[in-house]
């Protein structure tokens, strides 16, 4: 940012995710110079990562260059670097490259990472689904297992075509449904030389039902729909440990599987720990009602990294709307303070929850008690995701890809580039 003047405060935003972007965009035209710092040079639309992993969408359909987002917003600059430390006393952010950044106001929006809960083998052998790299690695691995099975069919008995998805929240449910469809509708036609009917998708959830934050009716619907589509659903059973070719369940069962996906939970970015501020059990930063850090009115935390209490005293969920609304709230408070006004508490407006279960089926629950499922729920899901995607080009690409996939049962993104093969060979 080159236009810094004495009376313009510098706002450093860590993270170009939902929360960080919302804060920076809402400061458009306000007397602040904003620097958005992200380890990547792009924003990732995480709710559609599972579609990249299952070959429904391309990686750049759901990612958008951070500099492009702020091309027309002249009070925002972008820095691609990993934040390694924050010095609250010196008001300085240390980066993996380049000079440290001084700030007048800091917005922490670094999101969350996969939580392994210390389960043996997860770190080494399971795939996460938190980043574009995770999604691409998973997609390449699955396609490669099918190629291997075409050459050596015996490895199917060893679990080469079995995927175990750990965690029956929205991500696990959406991913399992999409994997079932990928196997039976797409790869079955690609791999006529492989007995794809023997490919398995097993969804394991430790609680007694899927989609624990939804109503029991939606949970039941998700379960029956997935089972009808060939997904094996195991509830009330935990994952004890795993290795490269199998998963051990808490009921004594061992499932041979070459692919295990860990979608069982998240914990706040480790940045929350390096601050030395107080955190919850999930590593989230405790914040005041206005989302500032206790004792540091110049530092705010929004989104997955923050532990902001909702009206019922429970922590707000780690979902996109909480991050977006939190980011906008912080921007409003900065403007209020500049005008000599006091800050207001953050009030989250719940807009409801939704999860797709696969082709033409989804569950949608609105706060006023309305529930949609089946085709209407699915269309609502499609529409909402298109609205929240960034960039006209991305929306157009996603729409075309969805229409193509729907009409033809074909999916474009299943190539194995040499770099993918090297990555697989390198473990």
Active-site residues, by number, are 174
- The single residue among 40, 116, 245, 397 that binds ligand FAD, judged by CB under 6 A, is 40
Residues in a beta bridge with 239 = 249
Q: Contact 313/279 with Cβ under 8 angstroms? A: no
Distance from C-alpha of 335 to C-alpha of 232, rounded to nearest angstrom = 52
Does 39 bind ligand FAD (CB under 6 A)? Our answer is: yes
Does 17 bind ligand FAD (CB under 6 A)? Our answer is: yes
H-helix segments, 265-340:
271-274, 320-338
- The position carrying tokens 């099975």 is 149
Distance from C-alpha of 335 to C-alpha of 330, rounded to nearest angstrom = 9
Distance from C-alpha of 221 to C-alpha of 179, rounded to nearest angstrom = 18
- The single residue among 73, 184, 321, 397 that binds ligand FAD, judged by CB under 6 A, is 321
Q: Which is nearer to ligand FAD, 91 or 248 (CB)?
A: 91
Of the listed pieces 193-201, 213-221, 301-309, 358-366, which binds ligand FAD according to CB under 6 A? 301-309
> Nearest 5°: phi and psi at 50?
-65, -25
Q: Where are the beta strands (DSSP E) in 129-174?
A: 162-166
Q: Contact 12/93 with Cβ under 8 angstroms? A: yes
Residue closest to ligand FAD when measured from CB atoms: 17
CB of 170 vs ligand FAD, minimal distance in Å: 5
CB of 317 vs ligand FAD, minimal distance in Å: 8
CB of 253 vs ligand FAD, minimal distance in Å: 26
Total residues binding ligand FAD (CB under 6 A):
34
Of the listed pieces 189-197, 247-255, 298-306, 395-403, which binds ligand FAD according to CB under 6 A? 298-306
Distance from C-alpha of 225 to C-alpha of 254, rounded to nearest angstrom = 25
Coil, helix or strand at residue 371: strand
Helix (H) or strand (E) holding 66, with range, is helix 66-69
Q: Which is nearer to ligand FAD, 174 or 181 (CB)?
A: 174
- The single residue among 130, 223, 284, 414 that binds ligand FAD, judged by CB under 6 A, is 130
The distance of Cα 115 from the centroid of its chain, to the nearest Å, equals 13
Other CB atoms within 10 Å distance of the CB of residue 162: 24
Distance from C-alpha of 220 to C-alpha of 233, rounded to nearest angstrom = 11
- The single residue among 19, 56, 121, 172 that binds ligand FAD, judged by CB under 6 A, is 19
Does 15 bind ligand FAD (CB under 6 A)? Our answer is: yes
CB of 120 vs ligand FAD, minimal distance in Å: 23
Which letter does DSSP use for residue 356 in this model?
E
Of the listed pieces 179-187, 218-226, 244-252, 300-308, which binds ligand FAD according to CB under 6 A? 300-308
Q: Which is nearer to ligand FAD, 110 or 119 (CB)?
A: 110
CB of 341 vs ligand FAD, minimal distance in Å: 26
151 to 170: interface string for ligand FAD, x by CB under 6 A: -------------------x
CA-CA-CA-CA torsion sign (365, 370, 376, 382): negative
Q: Give residues in contact with ligand FAD (CB under 6 A).
A: 14-20, 37-40, 46-47, 49-50, 82-83, 109-111, 129-130, 170-171, 269, 271, 303-305, 318-321, 323
């Amino acid at each position: 940012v080159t236009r810094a003047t004495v009376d313009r405060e510098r706002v450093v935003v860590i993270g170009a995710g939902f929360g960080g972007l919302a804060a920076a965009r809402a400061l458009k035209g306000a007397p602040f110079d904003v620097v958005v710092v992200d380890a990547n040079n792009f924003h990732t639309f995480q709710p559609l990562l599972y579609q990249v992993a299952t070959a429904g969408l391309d990686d750049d359909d759901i990612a958008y260059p951070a500099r492009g987002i702020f091309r027309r917003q002249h009070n925002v600059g972008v820095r691609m670097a990993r934040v390694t430390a924050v010095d609250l006393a010196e008001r300085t952010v240390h980066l993996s490259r380049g000079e440290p950044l001084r700030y007048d106001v800091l917005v922490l929006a670094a999101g969350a990472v996969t939580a392994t809960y210390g389960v043996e083998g997860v770190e080494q052998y399971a795939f996460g689904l938190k980043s574009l790299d995770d999604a691409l690695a998973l997609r390449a691995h699955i396609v490669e297992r099918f190629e291997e099975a075409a050459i050596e069919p015996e490895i199917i008995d060893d679990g080469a075509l079995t995927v175990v998805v750990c965690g029956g929240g929205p991500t696990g449910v959406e991913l399992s449904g999409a994997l079932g469809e990928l196997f039976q509708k797409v790869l079955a036609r690609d791999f006529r030389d492989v007995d794809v009917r023997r490919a398995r998708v097993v969804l394991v959830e430790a609680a007694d039902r899927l989609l624990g934050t939804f109503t029991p009716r939606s949970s039941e619907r998700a379960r029956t729909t997935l089972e009808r589509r060939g997904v094996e659903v195991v509830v009330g059973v935990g994952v004890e440990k795993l290795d490269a070719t199998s998963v051990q369940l808490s009921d004594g069962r061992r499932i041979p599987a070459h692919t295990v996906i860990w979608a069982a939970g998240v914990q706040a970015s480790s940045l929350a720990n390096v601050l030395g501020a107080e955190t919850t059990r999930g590593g989230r930063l405790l914040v005041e009602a206005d989302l500032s850090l206790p004792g540091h009115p110049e530092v705010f935390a929004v989104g997955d990294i923050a532990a902001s209490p909702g009206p019922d005293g429970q922590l707000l969920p780690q979902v996109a709307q909480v991050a977006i609304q939190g980011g906008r709230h912080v921007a409003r408070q900065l403007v209020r303070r500049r005008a000599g006004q006091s800050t207001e508490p953050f009030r989250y407006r719940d807009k409801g929850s939704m999860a797709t279960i696969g082709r033409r089926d989804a569950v949608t629950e609105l706060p006023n008690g309305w529930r949609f499922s089946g085709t209407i729920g699915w269309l609502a899901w499609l529409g909402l995701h298109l609205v929240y995607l960034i960039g006209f080009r991305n929306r157009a690409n996603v729409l075309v890809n969805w229409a193509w996939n729907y009409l033809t049962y074909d999916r474009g993104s299943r190539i194995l580039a040499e770099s993918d093969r090297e990555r697989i060979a390198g473990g």
